[in-house]
Structure 1
Amino acid sequence: MKYIIVLGDGMAGRALGELGMRTTLEAAGTPVMDALSKVSETGMASMVPEGMAPGSDTANLSVLGYDPRLYYSGRSPLEALSIGVDLKDTDVSFRCNLVTLSEEEGAYEDRVILDHSADEISSRDGAALLKALEEGLGKEALDRAGYAFYPGTSYRHLLVQNHGTVTELTPPHDVLTRRIGPYLPTDPSLRRMMEKSYEILSHHPLNEERRKQGLHPANSVWFWGAGTRPCLPSFEERTGKKGIMISAVDLLKGIAAGAGLACARVEGANGGLHTNYEGKARAAVQALTKDGYDFAYIHVEAPDEMGHQGSIRDKIQSIEWIDSRLLRPLITGLKDAGEDFRLLLLPDHPTPIEVRTHTGEPVPYLLYDSTREEQGESVYCEKTAAGTGREWKEGYRLIGHLLQEELC
């Protein structure tokens, strides 16, 4: 038996008047998901423990079976694992977004966050701007203060401080379109670096070229997600399953590194709407049917990004492409290879269009077993899943149901 999780990041949402009081998941054309729903178990699962922030970090730990209340030490340290940063026990890691701020206002604190991802800037351009920032701030000055920058993927980068302090910082996607003053760090060093970043990056040649192309300039950094080095027990030791992570984003790769999961490299997988859906399906089929893996975690960031952007059309498109370009070839490939499998499909958290950020409501799940189809629901969406009355209030236990065993 093979085991698969297909995770549509932020795929769930809330009913929208523009869609006739349907969610984007409900409005999307998803014939594969709906066919599975008719012969699967469906229900709801709470992936964000009560009292914890509804982030992809806490939620994806839950989906993998790690209780965030025990294992979560901050988002950025998980991403540090992904890009090979060996955090010391005295280090504090911060996520460093390249963001787009409005440019009409005079004072930095009066500006507004227009885009938390600077139009999903490329990793190459992001790294170039991070290097310019480091040079502008002064490498020697950063070293003396114990700071170091590390390039990541797209707009997602890292700042590490030796002998730092974990402080409460606001994610940029939580304050889109708002004046940033009330949400700036109280730490004077972090705030100064953010203010200086606007001066350094705003008229960088890369950003001038982006403006000419009609793209948002990456004109500031934004620090958040502070934390210390995590310690996750091995997934294989806990479950007896050899697993692989298939994702384009550093957070998921970092969780994989911490849990001892392998990571597949998929050409063209970029964490955006136009990612390589088919390539992810092929990588999973290859891993499960030829490379000796028992478990595959396929993560797609696109619905979450489109939710943050507030685009109904693109969020629906991302869900439809998960259905047609990932799920369909994945299931066909496994069945053609004669593999028996259990597949869990779900979001990690909702990213509703109207708030453009994460929320902590339960999410709909679908659990399909190729060896014993059962009577299910007509379609896969929040409404039908909630109507079953099934709910996993401790969502981190759901993976045990998938694997047909109780995990400690």
Structure 2
Amino acid sequence: MKLLYLIADGMGGWPLDELGGQTTMEAAVTPNMDELAATGTVGLAQTVPEGMAPGSDVANMALLGFDPATYHTGRGPIEAAAQGLELGPDDLVWRLNLVTVSKLTIDGVMRDYSSGHIASEISRPLVEKLQEKLGNETYTFYPGIQYRHLLVQKDGALTDDAGLFINPPHDITDKPIKLDLRAFSRSPNLWDLLFEARDLLADRSVNRSAANSIWPWGQGRPLNLPNFKETFGLDGAVISAVDLIKGLGFASGMTVVDVPGVTGLLDTNYEGKVDAALNFLKDHDFVFVHLEGPDECGHGGSARDKVEAISRFDARIVAPLREALKDEETAWIVTCDHFTPIKEKTHTTDPVPFVLNGPGCASSGVDGFSEKNAASGLKLEKGHELLAHALKTFGMK
């Protein structure tokens, strides 16, 4: 039997007046997810443990069956695993955004956590220039994808910097950066690096993008996860545009499938992800397909775009996979990692709706896949138990 685990990042949300009181899930055109929900089991899973920040790092770790309260060390270390960085046990790995701020002062505001969704071909040379000019024995810059990069602080886990709390920049869009600058100021070396980077990015001979500051956050020691196959008995792969998901795959010994043309945005290569999933399933039994688009639209505050992203997920991911595998014995888990409500423009800790469809699943009879309908079903207080519960239900463990 083949098991497909389909994730629409940030798909969940809250009712909106502009959608007549519907959520973006309810307003989207999702006949395939609706049918899976009606003929399968729906429920809610608490993917973010109490006291932890509702990030995709925490929530996707839970979806893959690993308790974030036990294994999570930070966002940066997960993405470092995706890049295969060689790290010392006491290195501190920061996620590094290229951002746009009104000004890097106590009365500044975070204008854009992504510098206008800066393209990789523009951001990579900037991070390489940061490394050339500012890298040293303590700090090393590593280019990633679009606005998402890394900063490794040698032996930084042994310093007070490990305990600094810096807001994820997508949490403070159009909000003051005062509290974060105060946190940065408690680390003289990091403070100097922040302003040296600002000055370098202000040089128009080096940078003509909207990026005018670096933003280190999500720091932690290197990640260590149990082996996925040994834990769950599944020979699986992850398929995603973002290093976060790839890092979870690498760290747990899964296959990481790269798909050309994936962007993490609304215009990603949907067909490439479907083809990659089907090719992998020819000889293997599990695939985790992650789509970033709904989350990015939620951060952008566009209900229209988020409705479209969810509709595309149904039409261009769920539908073709169902059609291609209609004659195969398959089981399905469809969910999101966290809510990204349009009103908030960032993640929340709401339990996420999920549907299980396959052997052993009772029909819920709901009229569609939504937050409200999922609330009428199963409740899982520990989101990292969703995968194990599904495997038991499907008779796969």
Listed as ranges, the matches of 1:344-359 within 5 Å are 344-359=333-348
CA deviations over 1:213-262 (Å, ceiling 9, x no partner): xxxx0111101000001211100001111000001100110000111000
| Structure 1 contact 9–349 (Cα < 8 Å) conserved | yes
Could you tell me which runs of 5 or more consecutive residues in structure 2 were left unpaired when the two chains were aligned.
Answer: none
CA deviations over 1:375-406 (Å, ceiling 9, x no partner): 43110010111123x21001111101222279
Q: d(CA) in 1 for partners of 2:25 and 2:194?
A: 37
CA deviations over 1:89-125 (Å, ceiling 9, x no partner): 02110000011112xx5x6332211111112211121
Q: d(CA) in 2 for partners of 1:73 and 1:198?
A: 28
Which moves more between the two structures, 294-303 or 116-125? 116-125
Q: 1:205 to 1:31 in 2, by over 3 A?
A: farther
Listed as ranges, the matches of 1:344-383 within 5 Å are 344-369=333-358, 374-383=363-372
Q: State the secondary structure of the residue aligned to 2:325.
A: helix
The one-letter amino acid of 1:64's match is: L
The one-letter amino acid of 2:369's match is: Y
Q: Which residue of 1 aligns with 2:121?
A: 124
Q: Which residue of 1 aligns with 2:148?
A: 156
Q: State the secondary structure of the residue aligned to 2:338.
A: coil
CA deviations over 1:281-328 (Å, ceiling 9, x no partner): 11111111x2x1111000011111111111111111110110101111
| Structure 1 contact 246–265 (Cα < 8 Å) conserved | yes
Q: d(CA) in 2 for partners of 1:375 and 1:363?
A: 17
Q: Which residue of 1 aligns with 2:19?
A: 19
Q: State the secondary structure of the residue aligned to 2:39.
A: coil
| Structure 2 contact 82–250 (Cα < 8 Å) conserved | yes
C-alpha displacement of 1:370: 6.7
C-alpha displacement of 1:372: 6.6
Listed as ranges, the matches of 1:279-358 within 5 Å are 279-288=272-281, 290=282, 292-335=283-326, 338-358=327-347
Q: Which residue of 1 aligns with 2:173?
A: 176
Q: Which residue of 1 aligns with 2:385?
A: 397
Q: d(CA) in 2 for partners of 1:35 and 1:94?
A: 42
Q: d(CA) in 2 for partners of 1:397 and 1:53?
A: 19
Q: Which residue of 2 aligns with 1:213?
A: none
Q: d(CA) in 1 for partners of 2:175 and 2:202?
A: 19
Q: 1:372 to 1:43 in 2, by over 3 A?
A: closer
Q: Does residue 1:189 correspond to 2:173, yes or no?
A: no
**Matched pairs, number:** 388
CA deviations over 1:149-173 (Å, ceiling 9, x no partner): 1111111000001110312221111
Q: Which residue of 2 aligns with 1:214?
A: none
CA deviations over 1:174-201 (Å, ceiling 9, x no partner): 1111121211223222222222222211
The one-letter amino acid of 1:219's match is: N
Q: Which residue of 2 aligns with 1:223?
A: 216
Task: Please give the root-mean-square deviation of Cα atoms over the aligned residues, in Å.
Answer: 1.9
| Structure 1 contact 7–299 (Cα < 8 Å) conserved | yes
C-alpha displacement of 1:14: 0.9
Q: 1:266 to 1:222 in 2, by over 3 A?
A: same
Q: d(CA) in 1 for partners of 2:230 and 2:376?
A: 36
Q: Which residue of 1 aligns with 2:71?
A: 71
| Structure 1 contact 308–357 (Cα < 8 Å) conserved | yes
The one-letter amino acid of 1:381's match is: S
Q: TM-score, normalised by structure 2?
A: 0.93
Q: d(CA) in 1 for partners of 2:329 and 2:100?
A: 47
Which moves more between the two structures, 40-49 or 374-383? 374-383
Q: d(CA) in 2 for partners of 1:324 and 1:298?
A: 14
Match of 1:240 among 210, 233, 238: 233
Q: State the secondary structure of the residue aligned to 2:156.
A: coil
Identity of aligned residues (%): 43
